[in-house]
Amino acid sequence: MKILLTGAAGFIGMHVALRLLARGDEVVGIDNLNDYYDPALKLARLARLRAHPGFRFEQLSIEDGVTLSAVFHRAAPQRVVHLAAQVGVRHSVVAPQSSAGSNLQGFVNVLEGCRALQVEHLVYASSSSVYGANAQLPYVEEQGVDHPLSLYGATKRANELMAHAYSHLFGIPTTGVRLFTVYGPWGRPDMAMFRFTRAILEGQPLDLYNEGHMVRDFTYVDDVAEPLVRLVDKPATPDAAFDAVRPDPARSDAPFRVFNVGGGHPVQLLELIAALEETLGRQAQRRLLPLQAGDVLATGADTRRLQEWIGPCPATPLRVGLRRFADWYLSQHGEAERR
């Protein structure tokens, strides 16, 4: 198929693109290569994609609706995978305009491109952040998602609502994936796994918010990329059993679906650090700090609906994923950090 993928130089975007290319799809990748974190890492990911003859790259910001529309018309994609976003719960607290521009205006532009080209299916990244103040674990898609604790979470919930409107009005099949704390090789430097690994190897203290008593459903990147590719192949369909009197926020009588994509095995940060210490052969220094604005205490994914839709999904054990991440990190940052 011909697939347009936004956020292609991003962490998850690169892994998804490699899977699509490996099976023979043509991929047009979009990314603005901004400096939210070191662009050198994005360029290194992009270099891996450029090695494939089926890949073509377009550098632009999705907020630029005119340029994005021109790319849509040139690419003429059958399906779209939308992963570009201004990420970061804490970043959205200090830079709300950046989050709103990319995650709201940018998403409208993607939806308009899909409408203009009559795209067969749009798969887009939502987030576990949409569950916000909901304390019932594990999170199930039918639960309420109307109390976000950060602007980032609010923009991702808004994306789900916007997608539903386009599915209802224009019949565009849309599938949202609520992602849970993804980690692995080529991961983002602002994420916990990268920051903790770097701090332990450099002998620096780890900042542990809520004194380390946070719980997260860490999900290995392959366990996200594989379901995403499978979802691309299975466009959303109307739910014949949809009850308009008691509406399910993740289903509809329009071609609209939302799924949790997570590991399903939440761990406390202190447990994660103990596993990292064992993996790296180093002891961590801990700096215990209070809970930060926008953070939720715990996340956990119920993925039964996803597996009913696309079949059994991979689930990499945490220690296996940590070993793979550590090996990649050391390969990128040199043997000096082993000493």
DSSP 185-236: TT--TTSHHHHHHHHHHHTPEEEEEGGG--EE--EETHHHHHHHHHHHTS--
> 209 an active-site residue?
no
At what angle are helices 39-50 and 11-22 packed, to 10 degrees? 0
Active-site residue identified among 152, 166, 220, 329: 152
Rounded to whole angstroms, how far apart are CA atoms 214 and 161?
Answer: 29
Cβ atoms of 86 and 102 closer than 8 Å: yes
Backbone CA torsion sign across 186, 187, 193, 199: positive
Rounded to whole angstroms, how far apart are CA atoms 79 and 5?
Answer: 9
Tokens representing 96? 């709300």
Rounded to whole angstroms, how far apart are CA atoms 216 and 134?
Answer: 14
Tokens representing 190? 């602002």
Work out the number of other CB atoms within 10 angstroms of the CB of residue 127.
26
Active-site positions read 152
